[in-house]
A and B are shown apart, each in its own frame.
Chain A
């Protein structure tokens, strides 16, 4: 056995150190000057991202497959850190008004750490460890506004339902362990390929689908999503919508495509049907929503359905589609939710009708919201179109019905996305005072919009990076 090399965990250790450091500083620094913690977290994450870039191409297994280092994991890690950094940048004002900066930022960083562990997890224990680290940090974040009933209610719901889903996932994992005698994913994959398919194995897969389906809020495991999304502080919602979801997809791909390829025929159709149901349900229920956060919650359910499409074929192209879409989804989500965050910060409302005339009050906010939503709807030349194209391209052979459902529901989604645009651009504002954006928020918005546009117009470079990352997936 090779000696353990701690430098392989540089990123994780740095992130942990950053989280602890922010927490400690929060104890030392006086209340008045704690807003600097946000900047510290932001630049800290950016710096660690720089380190991460230098680790590109370092592909190996640690501890006989317990921990996997490859471009695949690294791409996800960078995505997580990027989304965390953008969330922090966009919400500093909001957090300053809420108080508890140190806890808030360190929890975001610890959640990021959990996601990063998930992305690299090569065995069930590590996977579960990362998942719980992320979930517990999120539970704290969801009920961060502890004086507000809605926030606490959301936290309560999240902790109970997440606990339930974790239990189901654990049952599934322990069934797999019982059947194969191993917790290491690659090992499990080898053993399963030799065994006949038994009902117990199918049951294990069902439980995995349910447990992770909860995290990505696939229908019918999505019930928590709208309530928790609405109740949680908006930046947390956005991080929940992209980070938690992306991390769960990272591990979903690892578990199913690397761990269970032997019984591919058994789960592929189920995943396809889940994707279809999720797309249909998310888009349909989003239509009557009048609260922007709830609308975004349902739209994020629908988006999860689209991403799930990439899992159906269990090929490199599918993995690539998932990663590509997850990456651009980060920017669309950051854009839309940062607008919602700041709008709430200024007006104290999340209701769609209060967004009337936003284009006059703040053209940038309205434009970013529009671009983000059109991207989610998959309108060219925005990034969402390219992403959907890559995803659905993989299933044109064999799952044409799913392609049709995806297309039709995309059109349906345009309806409610444009409804928001209509309110923002056509209606007269009740209160025409312009909204002044502080520069961190403006920068976040512009970054989100520009990246969404650039990826849409020139997807080549990102597509190549993702190709390289997806390629290392099968190397172990």
Chain B
């Protein structure tokens, strides 16, 4: 029981502490507005032009394709180092792996991901 009371008191005090500050400031703060107060930031430069700048989606497509072949290379290194001891099975596995990536590249190419229009 005593354990729980401790937790409860802690919770209540924490609530009062947090809420108290906000409530107090709400009650006593002066309600005068001026342009400076209405700025988004009180320091730094005001923004110019539209903030929502659009990027071409082709950037992402290039990036994705780049990552795919990056990862492929990372896989190929350890495989190449151990190639002698891994045997035929690993060789076929790697061919399947590369085949799947090639299909992906083919798909992206065919769907026009590599064209900058």
Determine whether A and B are in direct contact in the complex, meaning some CB atoms lie less than 8 angstroms apart: yes
Which chain A residues border B100 with CB–CB below 8 Å? Answer: 20
Chain A residues 12 to 26 lying within 8 A of chain B, measured CB to CB, are 20, 23-24
Check A27 for interface membership: any CB of B closer than 8 A. Answer: yes
| Distance to closest chain A CB from B112 (angstroms) | 12
Q: Is the interface of B mostly helix, strand, loop or mixed?
A: helix
Segment of B6-14, B44-52, B74-82, B103-111 engaged in the interface with chain A: B103-111
Instruction: Give the CA-CA distance A23 to B99 in the complex, in Å.
Output: 13
Which chain A residues border B106 with CB–CB below 8 Å? Answer: 24, 27
- When C-beta atoms are compared, the residue in chain A nearest to B106 turns out to be A27
| Distance to closest chain A CB from B104 (angstroms) | 9
- When C-beta atoms are compared, the residue in chain B nearest to A102 turns out to be B107
Instruction: Give the CA-CA distance A20 to B106 in the complex, in Å.
Output: 12
Instruction: Give the CA-CA distance A389 to B110 in the complex, in Å.
Output: 53
Q: Is the interface of A mostly helix, strand, loop or mixed?
A: helix
Which chain B residues border A27 with CB–CB below 8 Å? Answer: 106-107, 110
Which chain B residues border A24 with CB–CB below 8 Å? Answer: 103, 106
Mask of B70-105 contacts with A, CB within 8 angstroms, 1/0: 000000000000000000000000000000100100
Which chain B residues border A20 with CB–CB below 8 Å? Answer: 100, 103
| Distance to closest chain A CB from B63 (angstroms) | 17
Number of interface residues of B (CB under 8 A): 5
Instruction: Give the CA-CA distance A27 to B106 in the complex, in Å.
Output: 9
| Distance to closest chain A CB from B67 (angstroms) | 14
Mask of A1-41 contacts with B, CB within 8 angstroms, 1/0: 00000000000000000001001100100000000000000
Instruction: Give the CA-CA distance A220 to B106 in the complex, in Å.
Output: 43
Instruction: Give the CA-CA distance A254 to B106 in the complex, in Å.
Output: 38
Mask of A394-425 contacts with B, CB within 8 angstroms, 1/0: 00000000000000000000000000000000
Which chain A residues border B110 with CB–CB below 8 Å? Answer: 27
Instruction: Give the CA-CA distance A171 to B51 in the complex, in Å.
Output: 35
| Distance to closest chain B CB from A20 (angstroms) | 6
- When C-beta atoms are compared, the residue in chain A nearest to B100 turns out to be A20
- When C-beta atoms are compared, the residue in chain A nearest to B93 turns out to be A6
| Distance to closest chain B CB from A63 (angstroms) | 15
Which chain A residues border B107 with CB–CB below 8 Å? Answer: 23, 27
- When C-beta atoms are compared, the residue in chain B nearest to A23 turns out to be B107
| Distance to closest chain A CB from B98 (angstroms) | 13
| Distance to closest chain A CB from B88 (angstroms) | 13
- When C-beta atoms are compared, the residue in chain B nearest to A4 turns out to be B89
| Distance to closest chain B CB from A238 (angstroms) | 27
| Distance to closest chain B CB from A13 (angstroms) | 9
Instruction: Give the CA-CA distance A23 to B107 in the complex, in Å.
Output: 8
- When C-beta atoms are compared, the residue in chain A nearest to B99 turns out to be A20
| Distance to closest chain B CB from A137 (angstroms) | 14
Instruction: Give the CA-CA distance A23 to B106 in the complex, in Å.
Output: 10
Instruction: Give the CA-CA distance A75 to B100 in the complex, in Å.
Output: 29
Instruction: Give the CA-CA distance A23 to B100 in the complex, in Å.
Output: 11
Mask of B21-56 contacts with A, CB within 8 angstroms, 1/0: 000000000000000000000000000000000000
- When C-beta atoms are compared, the residue in chain B nearest to A26 turns out to be B107
Residues of B within 8 A of A (CB): 100, 103, 106-107, 110
User: What 4 A-B pairs are tightest by C-beta distance, nearest first?
Assistant: A27-B110, A20-B103, A24-B103, A27-B107
7 new A-B contacts, CB < 8 A, other than A23-B103, A24-B103, are A20-B100, A20-B103, A23-B107, A24-B106, A27-B106, A27-B107, A27-B110
A selection of 9 A-B contacts at a CB cut-off of 8 Å is A20-B100, A20-B103, A23-B103, A23-B107, A24-B103, A24-B106, A27-B106, A27-B107, A27-B110
